[in-house]
Amino acid sequence: MTTPPTVPLRVALVNGSFEQPTVANFEILPDASQTQAPKFVPGWRTTASDHMIELWRSGFNGVPAAEGAQFAELNANQVATLYQDLPTTPGSTLYWRLYHRGRLGQDTMALDIGSPGAPVEQRRFTDGNTAWGYYTGTYTVPAGQTVTRFAFRSVSAAGGNRGIGNFLDGVFFGTAPLVELTKSAIPVGPLEVGDVITYRITARNEGGGAAENLVLTTTSRRARRTSPDPCASSRVRTRARRPTNRATTRRISTRRRTGSSSTWATARPPYRAAACPAPRPCRRAPRWSTGWSSTGPPAARRSATPPPPPTRTGSATPRNR
C-alpha cells in the first residue's frame, strides 16, 4: 500500500467579489476586524487607522461592476492597504486573479504577497476609467511560511489624491480546484432476477477555486455468470444486465460552490437482471430399452451387446405334416 500525497490546505479569500454586505449606492463601512459593528465588510481588513472600507453598487456614478453586483474602492478616507491573511502550506502553488479600474483616469496599484510582516510586491496594474482590466498569476509559498498575506496597495491615482480611485472586483487568491469523487452501487453482492442496480457518484470540491465546466465520465462493465444445467457435459450461460461499456457522462457547474457536493445516479433507467432461461433437456439420455438403437450415444452403441434369443421352456409335440 502506498501513502497518498499530502493535500495542501484549502485556501480561498472570503468575500472576494465584495458582495457582502449589500449596499444601495455606496457606503463606507468598518472592516472585518470590527465585528461589534452592526454592519461590516467580512473577510477584508485595511491598514487605515479608522478601519473603513468603501463599497460601490454596480451602476453608481455610471460605473458597472466587473463581477456580481458590487465592487470596492481601494482607499476610503485614507491611503492604506486592503488585505487578507490566510493559512497556507509551504511549497504549494496559489493562484490569483482580479479586476482593476481607474476612477477619475489612470490609476495604479500594487499587489503584495508574502508573510504578514514583509509582503513582497508581485506586480503593478495601471488602468483607465473606461474599462476593467483583468489579470491573473501564481504564487509559490516559500518554506516555513504558514500564513500568507494577500494585499493591495495604492501607488497613484488620477488627480494626485491616492485616497481616491483604484476600483477592485472579482478578486481570487487560493488553491486550485480539487474534486474528490466517491462511487457506490446498490445493491452490493450477487444479483438476483429482478434486482434494480443504482449507481451513485458524489463529487465534492475540496479546493479553493471553483470547478467550472466540469465533465465527469464513468464506465461500467458487463457482468457474466454461469450455471450448470442437468446435463453434466453442458452449461447454460446467463448474463446479469448492467450498464453497457458506453460511458455515461454528466456536466455540472460548481462555480462558487467550494466545499459543496453534488450527488446523482449514473445508471438510468434502472437496469434489471435478466431471467435465467429454462434448462435445456438432456440430449444424451438413452432412448432405447432393448436391442440396438441408432439413437443412442456412440459410447452406448460401442458397449452394448445384442440380447440373447428367447429361451423356450416345456416340451413340444411335433406337428404331423
Q: How far is CA 279 from CA 68, 78, 231, in A?
A: 68, 90, 9
Does pLDDT of 273 surpass 50?
A: no
| 255 — pLDDT class (breaks 50, 70, 90) | very low
Residue 95 CB contacts under 8 Å (≥ 6 apart), including other chains: 136, 137, 138, 139, 172, 173, 174, 175, 176, 208, 209
- In the chain the domains, ranked by start, together with CATH numbers, are 26-174 (2.60.120.260), 179-272 (no CATH)
Give yes or no for a contact between 13 and 174, defined as CB atoms under 8 angstroms apart.
Answer: yes
Nearest C-alpha neighbor of 95 from the set 11, 166, 152: 11
| Max mean pLDDT range (117-131, 193-207, 304-318) | 117-131
Structure confidence by residue, pLDDT tens digits, 28-71: 999 999 999 999 999 999 999 999 999 999 999 999 999 999 99
Single-letter amino acid, residue 141: V
Is 187 or 206 the better-scoring residue by pLDDT? 187
- pTM, to two decimals: 0.63
The pLDDT tens digits for 135-189 are 999 999 999 999 999 999 999 999 888 788 999 999 999 997 767 778 788 887 7
Residue 61 main-chain phi, psi, to 5 deg = 55, 25
Q: How far apart are CA 119 and CA 306, in angstroms?
A: 109
What are the cell numbers at 145? Answer: 511560511
In angstroms, the Cα distances linking 58 to 23, 33, 316 are 10, 25, 131
More confident residue, 246 or 129: 129
